Amino acid sequence: MHNSKSVSAQNSKNLFLVSLIFLLLSSSTQLVGQVDEIREIQNSVVKIYTTQAEPDYFTPWRLLTPRQSSGSGAVISGNQILTNAHVVADASYVQAQKHNDPRRYQARVSFISHEADLALITVDEPGFFSDLKALAIGDLPDPLQEVSVYGYPIGGKSLSITKGILSRVEQQVYAHAGTYLLAGQIDAAINPGNSGGPVIVNQQIVGVVMQANSGGRAENLGYFVPPSIIRHVLTDSKDATHDGFPELGFRTQTLDSPSAKAAYGLERDEDGVLVIKVFEGSPADGILQENDVILQIDNFKIADDGTIRLSDDLLTDYKHAIDLHHIDEPISITYSRHGERATTQMIARRSLQSYSLVAGEQFDKVPEYYIYGGILFVPLNMNLIKRWGNDWGRTAPVSLLQARNEWSSPERRQLVVALQVLASDVNLGYHDWRNWVVDTVNGEPVRDFSQFSALIKNNTADNIVFKNTNGYQMVINHESALNSESQILSQYRIPSAYSIGLFDD
C-alpha cells in the first residue's frame, strides 16, 4: 500500500508539473503573440507635429501668437494618415514622425471634417509609407469590451499604449466644433497628444481618440469618434469635396407627456418627437409642419424620449439616423399629423449656412470685418464669443450669449456687432461703446454681414445712423468717415479697412 500511494503521489506531482509547464508555455506563446501584434500596430501609429496660428477675432486682421502642438494618427489605405481635425486646424506647418524614427517629414492636410473632428493628412516624401501597414476600419465594439488606445501623449517621446473598457456609446457634443454626433466613451485617461490616435480591437481601428466634451468634469474618461462616423467622412473624402453631414431643417422636442401625446393625436402605443420649427428653404420646408409628430426615420422607430435603437444594448438620439446618410440620398420619414399617419421622402442636403443667428465655430478661415468711421464691425459667431476665454459662458456679454437661442430666417440670417471703437475725431462721443448689436442702418434692417457692409459702401446719405432694438443710435458723418479712413488705419497699424473677399462678387 505504501508503494502504491507513493506512485500515485508521484503521478499527481508529474501531472501538476506537466500542466504548469503547459500553462507557462501557453502564456508565453500568448504573450509573444501580443507583443508581435503590438509591434505590427505601433509601426502604423504616427506622431504629428503642428504649428498653429489662429485668427484673433478681437483684432481680426491679426493672428494670435503661433503655438506648437502635437497629436497622433494612424496609417490607413491610400497612403493616408487618419487623425483629429483639431490636431491640424489653423495649422501653417505640419510634420509626421514614424515610430522609432527621429526624422520629421513634412506633411499636408488632404481632407478635413471639422464637425466630425477628423482629418486626413499625407506625406509626399517617396518611400514614407513603404514600411507602414495600413490599418483597416473595424466595427463598433460591444459594451464592456476591452480596447487599446495608441498614441503619443505629452510627457514623453515614445509610443504609449493604454487599455480601457467601452462604457458608453451615445450622441455627444464634440468639443472641437460643437456638433452633436455619435461618440464612444472608454474608462481610460486620454491626455493631450493622444488626440487622433487609434482605438484598436483585433488590429483594426474601431475609433479615433478625440477631445473630451467641453465640460471636462469627468476624470479617467476618454472619448472617441466611432466607426460609423469615420466611414462617413472617408466616403465624403473620395471626391476631395467636403459635403459634411446632412441637415433636414427641422427642430423637435420630446413627447414624454401622455397629455401632450394625446393632444397631438397619438395612440397610447405610438411614440415620436414633436416638430416645433421648420426652416424656410430646407428639405423639410413644405413637407413637415409645426406640431407634426415624427414617428420613424428609415427603419428606426423613435421613442418618446427621442431615441432610436441601434442594437439590443445601444440607444442613441434619432439624429444619428440622419447622420448615417450622405448628401443627395433619400431619407424616409414617417410622421403623424392630427392623428393621420403618412410616410414621405426628403433628399439629404447640405446644411444651410446656419440655422442659428450665431454660427458655429469655424476653422481655417479668415475672419470678416469692416472698419467704418473708426468703428470695428464684425459678424457674431462662436469664434468671437469663445475669444472671451475658456469661461466664455460667464464672461462674454449677455446680449451676445442670448442670441445663440434665436433662430435665423431669410430676413435675419446673421447679427452684426460694433465690437470696439478706434478712438478718433470722427467717432467722438462713442469711444467707450463696444459689443453693440446693430439692427438697422439708416432704417434698413440688417440681414447679414454682407448686406450690412454693402449698405455702408453704397451709402449716399450725409450721415449713417446705426440703431439697435432698444432705440440707441450711433451717428457717423459719411464724408468724415471716408476722409479719416487712411489716417485711422495708419494710426492703429491696420492693413485694410475690411477683410479680404468681403466685396468680391
Catalytic member of 117, 236, 243, 271:
117
As a whole number of angstroms, the distance between CA 154 and CA 68 comes to: 12
Give the position of cell 505629452: 154
**Among this protein's residues, is 117 annotated catalytic?**
yes
Give the position of cell 421613442: 303
Catalytic member of 44, 72, 86, 499:
86
Please report, as a single letter, which amino acid is at residue 325.
H
Please report, as a single letter, which amino acid is at residue 9.
A
Catalytic member of 44, 70, 72, 195:
195
Length of the chain: 505
**Among this protein's residues, is 19 annotated catalytic?**
no
Contact at 8 Å (CB) between 348 and 283?
A: yes
Contact at 8 Å (CB) between 351 and 247?
A: yes
Pairing of strands 198-201, 146-151: antiparallel
Look at residues 334, 378, 377 and name the one whose alpha carbon lies nearest to residue 359: 378
Estimate to the nearest angstrom the gap between the alpha carbon of 281 and the chain centroid.
Answer: 24
As a whole number of angstroms, the distance between CA 172 and CA 406 comes to: 22
- What are the DSSP E strand ranges found in 146-258? 146-151, 160-173, 180-186, 198-201, 204-210, 222-225, 250-254
Long-range contacts of 493-501 (CB under 8 A, 24+ apart): 494/61, 494/371, 495/61, 496/61, 497/370, 497/371, 497/372, 498/369, 498/370, 498/371, 498/453, 499/60, 499/61, 499/366, 499/367, 499/368, 499/369, 499/370, 500/366, 501/366
As a whole number of angstroms, the distance between CA 362 and CA 351 comes to: 14
Catalytic residues: 86, 117, 195
